[in-house]
Amino acid sequence: MPAEAVGRLRIGIDLGGSKIAGVVLGQDDAVLATKRTASPQHDYGATIAAIVGMVRALAQSAGGSGTVGIGIPGSIAPGGGVQNANSTWLNGRPLQADLEQCLNRSVRVANDANCFALSEAADGAGAGARSLFGVILGTGCGGGLIFDGKLLDGPRRTGGEWGHNPLPWAQAHEHPGPLCWCGHRGCIERWVSGPGLEADHLKHTGAALSADAIAASAQAGGADARASLERHASRLARGLAHVVNIFDPEVVVLGGGLSQLDHLYAALPRLMSAHLLARETHVSIKPPRWGDASGVRGAARLWP
């Protein structure tokens, strides 16, 4: 590979709750290599080793070294440790410093939802929009804010973390809400994530089904499953409307496993409208262009 091309390599890593994905972007964002493996569970040292091993394997496959960006299910606190990760064994640990020491290079680390939003704003479903809210609906519930092509964050590194606000316009039967891993009750994440949908369905029906199985049952005409999806869409719409009233994005892009629920793209704009303080209440809700590859592409894009 020519030296000029090698110098432009950008390696991205997406550290998820169940998998670690990696990509190498070359000139013109061409994908030069990809890799995926299971995430170590409850083992910080094994997590570091898995990321380092993937970075080295990707560099070898692409034929050269490069910059490294990593998306994590949390963020790096101003003091240097991980905060707010639902992979709780990462919290408080010096992840960025440990990776830089092992790799002997600078590493950029950002919240995985921020990486997703960055990717979809750059060349995805939100390309050309000035403002975008990127939403992750998977094992957890995250968000990333983009304005003029740049991530919006602040001194606490928690920009876009809507999932740990309480459910807006909660109904009587939704109080006080389920207990969240963060220690509070009624967080949006506990209602609209994949596990949140599954727990709500179990509570109302006694049937322990995956989110995919609930969707399949609803499509086959199952009344209980349809009711579960309707409750989920109502709660998701209220949570999104709260963000839209504050940030007013041109487009909202859904990511994560639940972004594959096709009914959401028609249902959410309708359900959100009653909660929006605007004359024009339609909000553009889109699926991700890059699917589950958006997060890892955005991690690579943490370097210009």
Mean pLDDT in order along the chain per 10 residues (304 residues): 56 93 94 96 97 97 94 94 93 97 96 97 97 95 95 92 96 96 95 98 98 98 98 98 97 96 97 96 96 95 93
The answer to whether residue 237 is domain-embedded is: yes
The answer to whether residue 116 is domain-embedded is: no
Q: What pLDDT is attached to residue 4?
A: 37
Q: What pLDDT is attached to residue 38?
A: 95
Q: What pLDDT is attached to residue 137?
A: 96
Find where tokens 């322990």 sit.
Answer: 208
Q: What pLDDT is attached to residue 283?
A: 96
Same domain, 103 and 135: no
What is the distance between the alpha carbons of residues 4 and 6, in angstroms, rounded to a whole number?
Answer: 6
Same domain, 190 and 278: yes
* Domain boundaries, position 62: 3-111
Same domain, 135 and 283: yes
Same domain, 164 and 195: yes
Strands (E), 93-243: 108-111, 131-137, 141-147, 150-151
Same domain, 192 and 266: yes
What is the distance between the alpha carbons of residues 74 and 86, in angstroms, rounded to a whole number?
Answer: 7
Same domain, 103 and 159: no
Count of domains for the chain: 2
Same domain, 132 and 268: yes
Same domain, 177 and 34: no
Same domain, 227 and 280: yes
The answer to whether residue 252 is domain-embedded is: yes
Per-residue tokens: 253: 């892009």
The answer to whether residue 225 is domain-embedded is: yes
The answer to whether residue 218 is domain-embedded is: yes
CATH code of the domain covering residue 213: 3.30.420.40
Q: String of b and e for 248-263 (b: at least 16 CB within 10 Å)?
A: ebebbbbbbbbbbbee
Q: What pLDDT is attached to residue 6?
A: 44
Same domain, 16 and 76: yes
Same domain, 133 and 281: yes
Q: Which of helix, strand or coil describes residue 185?
A: strand
Q: What pLDDT is attached to residue 7?
A: 55
User: Does the bond joining 288 to the residue before it have cis omega, within 30 degrees of 0?
Assistant: no
The answer to whether residue 78 is domain-embedded is: yes
Same domain, 204 and 246: yes
For 104-222, where are the alpha helices, taking DSSP H only? 112-123, 188-192, 194-205, 211-219
The answer to whether residue 302 is domain-embedded is: no
Q: In the 8-state DSSP scheme, what is residue 40?
A: P
- Domain end call among 111, 135, 159: 111
For 28-79, where are the alpha helices, taking DSSP H only? 44-62
Q: What pLDDT is attached to residue 17?
A: 83
Residue closest to 106 by CA, chosen among 155, 55, 169, 158: 55
Question: Judging by DSSP bridges, how do beta strands 82-83 and 75-76 pair with one another?
Answer: antiparallel
Q: String of b and e for 150-161 (b: at least 16 CB within 10 Å)?
A: ebbbeeebebbb
pTM of the full structure: 0.92
The answer to whether residue 25 is domain-embedded is: yes
